[in-house]
Amino acid sequence: MGNYSYAPEKNISAEEKYGRKKHKVTKTKAKYAKPKFHIGIGGVLSIISILIIISTHVLTYSGSFFFDLFAGNSVNYAGDFLYSQNDDGVYINYYRGLRSNVIIPSKIEGESVTKIQIGAFCHTSYTIKNVTIPDGVIYIGYYAFRDCVKLKSITIPDSVIFIDNEAFPNCTALTVICPLNSYAYNFCIGNNIKVQTTG
The domain segmentation of the chain, as residue ranges, is 41-198
pLDDT in tens, 146-161: 999 999 999 999 999 9
Q: Write down the pTM of the prediction.
A: 0.65
Q: At 64, is the pLDDT very low, low, confident or very high (cuts 50, 70, 90)?
A: very low
pLDDT in tens, 65-78: 444 444 445 668 88
Q: Give the whole-angstrom CA distance, residue 124 versus residue 149.
A: 9
Query: Top-level CATH class of 41-198?
Result: alpha beta
DSSP result, 30-88: PP-PPPP----HHHHHHHHHHHHHHHHHHHHHHHHHHHHHHTT--EEEETTEEEEEETT
pLDDT in tens, 1-15: 555 555 555 555 555
What's the pLDDT at 47?
74
